[in-house]
Amino acid sequence: MEELFERAPIRQAYFKLAMPVVLSMLASMVYNLADTFFVSMTQNTALVAGVSLCTPLFNLMIALGDVFGLGGSAYVSRLLGQQQHQLARHVSSWCFYGGIFSSIALAVLMLVFERPILTALGATPATYAYAAQFYRIFNIGAALVTISIVPGNLMRTEGRAKENMIGTVGGIIVNIICDPIFILVLHMGAAGAALANLIGYTLTDIILVQYVRRRCKVINVNWHEVALKKTDIWQVLVIGIPASITNLMISYQTALFNNYLARYGADRVAALGIATKVSQVVNAIMVGFAFGAQPLIGYNYGANHQDRLRQIIRFDLLVEVVWSLVMATLMIIVSPWIVALFLKNPAVIHYGSQILRILLLTTPFAGAILVYTTVFQSTAKALNALLMSVSRQGVIFTIAIVVGSLLFGYTGIIWSQAVADVLTALLGWLLYRHQVRQAAVDVAE
């Protein structure tokens, strides 16, 4: 482990840790597109819109998993850099079981408050029945989504990114196989899409837990090592909560976007759902690179290897910006043909390609935001991480969509995320510059 994290060339270490995560994220996005494709094959716009309205459910459960998965992995990375292996074992075990119990409790609450939650997500009389079908089945097994996040993130702190990829891809393959069977052959519609999801996550959970038990030297799921001091729990939560807020903000952003577009009809809501999932192909790869580099950043920060740390961050920024520029340009060119793969409705194709192009324009800024956010998480800069988490798809996005809607109507709404991307990237750059300067002052003293 020390050879990879401390002595291997940065390019080699970076891609060895990041590429399996990138492939996992890409596989997840292929699944999301396939899921949308199979739902769209019903050619029922209300059904597509209803399932799209439930997208924030995934983000919510992933956000809960991030409290323990990203918060735990950020702390464990630093502990491994400091050679505190026994404490790292206890942290990993506490995170695993904390994720299980918390997700079960949240799912019960969501089932109890189904109607107000779906209404807040933008469900209308035309889409409510379809959204409710997906919502109920998904929440019954929602804990399966959260469980898959925790061991997958913790394993990467030991360099076990490949094993994480195998577990993720295995579940996705099963999911894609089940989708057409449940949705099209058995005509289960939205309920079939939800059930296929849960079956896939079940397999992923089984694979990841077995890898942790058999291959990891420090990370574990041993109930007898779950005890943890309050100060160590705080170290997990102080980073995990801002990390989870990022995904909560995705849910919030999607719900707010849907609510603003709902007044323009189901065609534009369906167009947004398709455009968002297509743009996530580019975003998922950027997330994969950022998350893949996170253990490397945390380890070298914990080991106080400052020169290597700065080189890793610079290389991470370069990879993110170049990737996003190349892929966004290609997808902008072919956007009408991509959207047409999902629905043949001319209005959806028009609005979907328009929204997709706008979402892709500012992906280089989104890549920089990811780098700054993961750096703040990995170096225990909780306030900076929190500011980044609540900005891009939260506070700044809200201001942008409210002002844009008032001044420019529909056009202002669909440009609001692009505006938020640019402003949040600027915020991240300013916070990072301050952190670097403060570190230089500390060294001088």
> Using CA atoms, how far apart are residues 294 and 156, in angstroms rounded to an integer?
9
Mapping DSSP onto H, E and C, the string for 19-37 reads HHHHHHHHHHHHHHHHHHH
| String of DSSP letters for 203-256 | HHHHHHHHHHHHH-SS----GGG----HHHHHHHHHHHHHHHHHHHHHHHHHHH
Please indicate, yes or no, if residue 444 is contained in any of the structural domains: no
Please indicate, yes or no, if residue 140 is contained in any of the structural domains: yes
Please indicate, yes or no, if residue 278 is contained in any of the structural domains: yes
| String of DSSP letters for 125-153 | TTTHHHHHHHHHHHHHTTHHHHHHHHHHH
Each residue's pLDDT, cut to its tens digit, for the chain (445 residues) gives: 567 777 788 888 888 888 887 877 777 767 666 766 776 666 666 777 777 776 777 777 877 888 888 888 888 888 888 888 888 889 889 999 988 888 889 888 888 887 888 877 777 777 777 778 778 888 888 788 888 888 888 888 887 878 888 888 888 888 888 878 887 788 777 778 788 888 888 998 899 988 888 888 888 888 888 888 888 888 888 878 877 777 778 778 877 888 888 788 777 887 887 888 778 778 878 888 887 788 888 878 877 788 888 888 889 999 998 888 888 888 888 888 888 877 777 888 888 888 888 989 898 999 999 899 888 888 878 788 888 888 888 899 999 999 999 999 888 998 999 999 999 999 999 998 887 777 655 544 5
Three-point CA angle 255, 147, 52, nearest 5°: 25
Can you give the pLDDT at residue 342? 72
Please indicate, yes or no, if residue 441 is contained in any of the structural domains: no
Please indicate, yes or no, if residue 366 is contained in any of the structural domains: yes
The DSSP secondary-structure symbol of 304 reads T
> Using CA atoms, how far apart are residues 391 and 78, in angstroms rounded to an integer?
26
Can you give the pLDDT at residue 440? 55
Q: Does residue 38 contact residue 179 with C-beta atoms inside 8 Å?
A: yes
Can you give the pLDDT at residue 426? 94
Nearest of 107, 113, 98, 108 to residue 142 by alpha carbon: 107
Nearest of 69, 64, 36 to residue 52 by alpha carbon: 36
Please indicate, yes or no, if residue 182 is contained in any of the structural domains: yes
> Using CA atoms, how far apart are residues 23 and 16, in angstroms rounded to an integer?
12
Please indicate, yes or no, if residue 20 is contained in any of the structural domains: yes
User: Could you give the number of structural domains in the chain?
Assistant: 1
Q: Does residue 153 contact residue 240 with C-beta atoms inside 8 Å?
A: no
Which of 51-80 are b and which e, b meaning 16 or more Cβ less than 10 Å from the residue's Cβ?
bbbbbbbbbbbbbbbbbbbbbbbbbbbbbb
> Using CA atoms, how far apart are residues 131 and 366, in angstroms rounded to an integer?
30
Nearest of 288, 371, 221 to residue 27 by alpha carbon: 288
What's the domain range around 355?
2-436
**Which amino acid, one-letter code, is at 403?**
V
> Using CA atoms, how far apart are residues 273 and 267, in angstroms rounded to an integer?
10
Can you give the pLDDT at residue 397? 92
Please indicate, yes or no, if residue 443 is contained in any of the structural domains: no
Q: Does residue 271 contact residue 351 with C-beta atoms inside 8 Å?
A: yes
Can you give the pLDDT at residue 347? 81
